[in-house]
Chain A
Amino acid sequence: MISIRHLAKEFPVSGGRVAALKGLDLEVAEGEFFVIVGASGSGKTTLLRCVAGLEAPDGGEIRIAGRVVSSDKPPVWVASQQRQLGMVFQSYAVWPHLTVYENVALPLAEGEQRAPRREVSSRAREALRLVQLEELADRSATLLSGGQQQRVALARAIAVNPRILLMDEPLSNLDARLREEVRGKIRDLSKQLGSTVLYVTHDQVEAMAMADKIALMQAGELLQVGLPMELYHHPARPEVAEFFGLVNWVEGRMVQPALAETAVGAIEIKGSQAPGSQVLLGFRPESLSPVSTPPAGARNVLSGVLRSSTFLGDQFLYDVMIRDHLFVGKGRLIPSNGDGNVCFYVDPREVMVFPAKKKISGRFDERGI
């Protein structure tokens, strides 16, 4: 439905140019809820604005439903109005001088994708019904709460039956509780309407929860594209693994195709690596499963001393010192053998293996959940 090739965009800044998009490729299938996630400044908004036709790319090609809407060779440019999109802006951009109803009806009545005159009212009301705002139809748009404004923006975007829905961090101005609620509603609505959605966020939890497919963006490039589970459990690069949650890293050397020697003991992995190669192993806090008595000589068993713990409500996060390495574990209970010594088992299938190139820094940066 959306197909992007070698998309490049630079911005002039004082004393030079900054590349916001560096030759990016992307493929979004029809009906897919596609989430682009990345740190602040990684170029997500720029990408979305290029698709919307609000920003002219410097190079590359964008196709929507098979039709080229933007290209450098041969030069093609389809104006934003002609692209048949719906968009929810981060600031919502609800027109403050109009009522809720008028906000939704204006594109229907006067836009390029306008509906026949007698359908305008019914379609606008239908869109408002879908976001549960019918009762507020005649309210001035300035008298709405943040959550309501967000729904007006959504209704306006879906009213024109767009081929594609674009959303730029539509939830970031809502408070945490509302955010979780609206998250599900947006996804349900888009599935109900069968829309293709390109959704931008910087929140990895939001991305995981909503996406059919996720693309992780960093510094104007896509690091990995795939299903949420793939990105979480089989990240292509250590950066991807780190973005989606805490990772315990340990360096090692392969002694057998599926066995690595590390500073915390021998660790068995799934798959095979060339013996003798240097590797970087990583596993998530929840992969540390407490075991009461370590079977002697067993592989993948780490024993150490419990240092501290944090109560998170539904579970605990705790620090364990294993042979001078600080690890983070997570579970419903704090493991304890009475004397503070604890043992863990790590399933070989849950160990992420990367060729050791450079040291990973900032292991404990993201004390997320």
Chain B
Amino acid sequence: MSTVRQAVLRLPFSFGARRWRASPFLVSLALAPMAVILLLVVAMLWISLQKGVFGTASAIYTLENYREVLSDPFLLHALRNTAIFTLSTVFFALVLGLPIAWLTERTTIPGKTLIYALMTLGLLIPGIYTAMGWTLIAHPRIGILNRWLVDLLGLAEGPINIATPVGMGFVQGMSLAALVFILTAQMFRAMNPSLEEAAKVHGLNLGRTLWRITLPLALPGILAAVIYITTIGIATFDIPAILGLGNRVYMLSTFLYIKVHPPGSGLPEYGISGAMGAFMVILAIFLTCWYGQVLRQGHRFEVITGKGYRPALIELGRWTMLGWGFIALYALISKLLPLLLIAYAAFTPYFAPPSFEMFGKLSTVHFSNMDWDLVLRGLKNTGILVLVVPLVVLLFGFSISWLVVRSRSRSRYLLEFGAFLPHALPEVIMAIGALMLSLFVIGNVVPLYGSVYLIAIVYVVARLAFATRAINGSLLQIHKELEEAAFVAGLSTFRTAWRVLLPLIWPTLVSVWIWTALLVYRELTVAVFLGVQDNITLPAVIWSYWYGGGINKASAVTLLMTLVLTPMILAVWWVGRRSQVPGQ
């Protein structure tokens, strides 16, 4: 009897109480990313409390930085811009994304697979493309639309300005509409249609059913989407940078950027940016907690659906055309038109509205004049990142998920929190933290500053939240006894993972790998904050051309980048057809 019990206790990987030491390797794998994140935040906070030469004896510890931030009138201005920008982002993302989600999930609109493909793949087309394209469309000076309107109406200057907080919100909103679609489509699908039918049978008319049943049930889902979008909006860098920096319209994120990379001969103000970052961390954590709470509220409403479950779809009839018209218009203005204009700009010697004259001047001059040294270096760095980051993310993500899903120990809450942290932290904050960490904390020990591996580390922790969520989901579907059977049969922890678990969740791992690779490939924020000569990435090359006024050269590099992007997106689509695409 006692020998039996001992044998059970000696299972190589049983996560009952007090069995943590059973696999220190796995545990340290899971804890490492958490440590990195904490280190980034702590480094930033530490710098924010100093004046003088950081980290040396001459540094003075003070709250002066915080005082300066709070009394900076320019910051107030950036704050106001950010608020307007975020509000318009939320507005446009909802107005575009919500109807498409509703159409797809609750009506008889044809071509749903196509809509799903359009919207999920749309998420992969970088927001900077849309931003660049829309600069070419609606910039007050060079924008095609403005030029046409000026000619047509005889105006003195272009009437539309995309480089305003509202205009940038419009572009960001178009980008995030795909995300709203994915978040709310899930909600519409999970909503039990018999709840509405019950209202109908018991005498509530359509208006009252929508008002008393459908809307209250959808509200938590919509609110959650709004908070999520807001969290992204207040800290997003790439679109405000492309549209606003050149025109001196600053958001919090771009303001932070010029604090650490001042134009001209200004000196970086690390202490101040650290203090600003601290405020943003507080705001972001608050929003993320709120998001989690609203989401739980929404799950409360999910009723178990019996086997009688069958979605009752609303007959669209002659409104079908209108529905598809809306979707097509969205695809056109958010993706197709910007891409076409970028392609056009890449082949014109200077940017001007399309005309016979301009078509006569098309050439490949920007491709031959390009600084190929720089572009190839960008390509090489981006290549390293795309090869290394997704694999490391998978390794860490799998370890964390396995512990979180299977462990019964209380320590798993710590892990879960660690996996959730990067979700709360905006990329700009991680970038600032990494900058300070590499410059002032570990600079003398490990020369990470200016290295592509510094960017890689930040990417890994930033993408981990997404990966663990997806892997959690698919691990939860695998019955625990499948692993236990392997342990009892004498397989080691490692072998159990390799021979039993990995083959079972293979499709999820593949799709996480591809998504991570794609998001890494197109990432701009961290790359720009941490980029110097040697570790510049391909998107950062585009950015530096664009920021330097070389619109056409930037377009040419963008086109090159798209050549690689397209097959990757097709791969996502191909894998996604066969397995569930992990939700964001």
Complex alpha-carbon distance, A224 and B306, angstroms: 28
Do B203 and A107 have beta carbons less than 8 Å apart?
A: yes
A156: Cβ under 8 A from any B Cβ: yes
Chain A, residue nearest B213 (CB): A95
A268: Cβ under 8 A from any B Cβ: no
A86: Cβ under 8 A from any B Cβ: yes
B198, B208, B216: the one contacting A110 at CB < 8 Å is B208
> Across chains A and B, which 3 residue pairs bring their CB atoms closest together, nearest first?
A111-B203, A112-B203, A107-B202
B312: Cβ under 8 A from any A Cβ: yes
Chain B, residue nearest A104 (CB): B202
Among B199, B208, B301, B302, max chain A CB count under 10 A is at B199
Q: Which residues of B contact A53 (CB under 8 A)?
A: 200-201
The stretch of A29-37, A69-77, A167-175, A294-302 in contact with B is A167-175
Do B197 and A110 have beta carbons less than 8 Å apart?
A: no
Do B204 and A81 have beta carbons less than 8 Å apart?
A: yes
Do B201 and A54 have beta carbons less than 8 Å apart?
A: yes
Complex alpha-carbon distance, A320 and B216, angstroms: 62
Give the contact-size bracket for chain A: 35 or more
Q: A83-B201, A111-B203, A156-B202 are in contact. List 14 more A-B contacts (CB 8 A).
A: A53-B201, A81-B200, A89-B197, A90-B306, A91-B304, A93-B197, A96-B217, A96-B301, A97-B217, A97-B301, A110-B204, A110-B208, A160-B203, A168-B308
Interface string of B192-214 (1 = CB under 8 A from A): 10110111111111001000110
Chain B, residue nearest A140 (CB): B300
Contacting B at CB under 8 A, from A133-173, are 142, 153, 156-157, 160, 166, 168-169, 172-173
Interface string of A30-47 (1 = CB under 8 A from B): 000000000000000100
Complex alpha-carbon distance, A169 and B307, angstroms: 10
Known contacts: A81-B203, A90-B308. The answer to whether A142 contacts B197 by CB under 8 A is no
Interface string of A80-124 (1 = CB under 8 A from B): 110111110111111111000000001100111110000000000
Chain A, residue nearest B307 (CB): A90
Interface string of B169-199 (1 = CB under 8 A from A): 0000000000000000000000010110111
Q: Which residues of B contact A54 (CB under 8 A)?
A: 197, 200-201, 312
Complex alpha-carbon distance, A254 and B208, angstroms: 67
Do A80 and B300 have beta carbons less than 8 Å apart?
A: no
B198, B204, B205: the one contacting A93 at CB < 8 Å is B198
Among B192, B203, B302, B307, max chain A CB count under 10 A is at B203
Do B201 and A94 have beta carbons less than 8 Å apart?
A: no
Do A95 and B208 have beta carbons less than 8 Å apart?
A: no
B322: Cβ under 8 A from any A Cβ: no
Among A84, A94, A110, max chain B CB count under 10 A is at A110
B4: Cβ under 8 A from any A Cβ: no
Q: Which residues of B contact A4 (CB under 8 A)?
A: none
Do B201 and A87 have beta carbons less than 8 Å apart?
A: yes
Chain B, residue nearest A169 (CB): B308
Interface string of B15-45 (1 = CB under 8 A from A): 0000000000000000000000000000000
Complex alpha-carbon distance, A15 and B337, angstroms: 37
Q: Which residues of A contact B62 (CB under 8 A)?
A: none
B198, B203, B302, B307: the one contacting A114 at CB < 8 Å is B203
B309: Cβ under 8 A from any A Cβ: yes
Do A81 and B194 have beta carbons less than 8 Å apart?
A: no
Interface string of B297-334 (1 = CB under 8 A from A): 00011111111110010000000000000000000000
Shortest Cβ distance from residue A260 to the other chain B in the assembled complex, whole angstroms: 43
Complex alpha-carbon distance, A116 and B518, angstroms: 62
24 CB < 8 A contacts A-B: A54-B197, A80-B197, A83-B201, A85-B202, A86-B201, A87-B198, A90-B307, A91-B194, A93-B194, A93-B195, A93-B303, A95-B195, A95-B217, A96-B195, A96-B301, A96-B302, A96-B303, A107-B199, A110-B208, A113-B202, A142-B300, A142-B301, A160-B203, A173-B306
A52: Cβ under 8 A from any B Cβ: yes
Complex alpha-carbon distance, A85 and B309, angstroms: 21
B203, B212, B301, B306: the one contacting A91 at CB < 8 Å is B306
Do A172 and B203 have beta carbons less than 8 Å apart?
A: no
Do A172 and B306 have beta carbons less than 8 Å apart?
A: yes
Complex alpha-carbon distance, A91 and B301, angstroms: 13
Known contacts: A91-B306, A172-B306. The answer to whether A96 contacts B300 by CB under 8 A is yes
Complex alpha-carbon distance, A112 and B195, angstroms: 17
Shortest Cβ distance from residue B182 to the other chain A in the assembled complex, whole angstroms: 23
Q: Which residues of A contact B308 (CB under 8 A)?
A: 45, 89-91, 168-169
Complex alpha-carbon distance, A45 and B203, angstroms: 20
Shortest Cβ distance from residue B293 to the other chain A in the assembled complex, whole angstroms: 16
Complex alpha-carbon distance, A94 and B199, angstroms: 10
Do A81 and B205 have beta carbons less than 8 Å apart?
A: yes
Known contacts: A94-B303, A96-B300, A97-B301. The answer to whether A89 contacts B198 by CB under 8 A is yes
Do A80 and B216 have beta carbons less than 8 Å apart?
A: no
Shortest Cβ distance from residue B323 to the other chain A in the assembled complex, whole angstroms: 19
Chain A, residue nearest B198 (CB): A93
Q: Which residues of B contact A173 (CB under 8 A)?
A: 304, 306
Chain B, residue nearest A91 (CB): B306
Shortest Cβ distance from residue B581 to the other chain A in the assembled complex, whole angstroms: 23
Contacting B at CB under 8 A, from A181-225, are none
Known contacts: A91-B194, A91-B305. The answer to whether A85 contacts B201 by CB under 8 A is yes
Complex alpha-carbon distance, A52 and B312, angstroms: 14
A81, A94, A110: the one contacting B212 at CB < 8 Å is A110
Among B198, B300, B302, B304, max chain A CB count under 10 A is at B198
Q: Which residues of B contact A107 (CB under 8 A)?
A: 199, 202-204
Complex alpha-carbon distance, A85 and B202, angstroms: 6
Q: Which residues of B contact A156 (CB under 8 A)?
A: 198, 202
Complex alpha-carbon distance, A97 and B306, angstroms: 19
Shortest Cβ distance from residue A352 to the other chain B in the assembled complex, whole angstroms: 33
Contacting A at CB under 8 A, from B85-133, are none
Q: Which residues of A contact B305 (CB under 8 A)?
A: 91
Shortest Cβ distance from residue A139 to the other chain B in the assembled complex, whole angstroms: 13
Complex alpha-carbon distance, A354 and B194, angstroms: 43
Shortest Cβ distance from residue A217 to the other chain B in the assembled complex, whole angstroms: 16
Complex alpha-carbon distance, A154 and B222, angstroms: 31
Q: Which residues of A contact B205 (CB under 8 A)?
A: 81, 112
Shortest Cβ distance from residue A92 to the other chain B in the assembled complex, whole angstroms: 8
Complex alpha-carbon distance, A87 and B306, angstroms: 15
Shortest Cβ distance from residue A83 to the other chain B in the assembled complex, whole angstroms: 8
Do B194 and A113 have beta carbons less than 8 Å apart?
A: no
Known contacts: A89-B198, A91-B194, A91-B304. The answer to whether A111 contacts B309 by CB under 8 A is no
Complex alpha-carbon distance, A97 and B297, angstroms: 10
Chain B, residue nearest A82 (CB): B203
Complex alpha-carbon distance, A224 and B302, angstroms: 39
Q: Which residues of A contact B300 (CB under 8 A)?
A: 96, 142
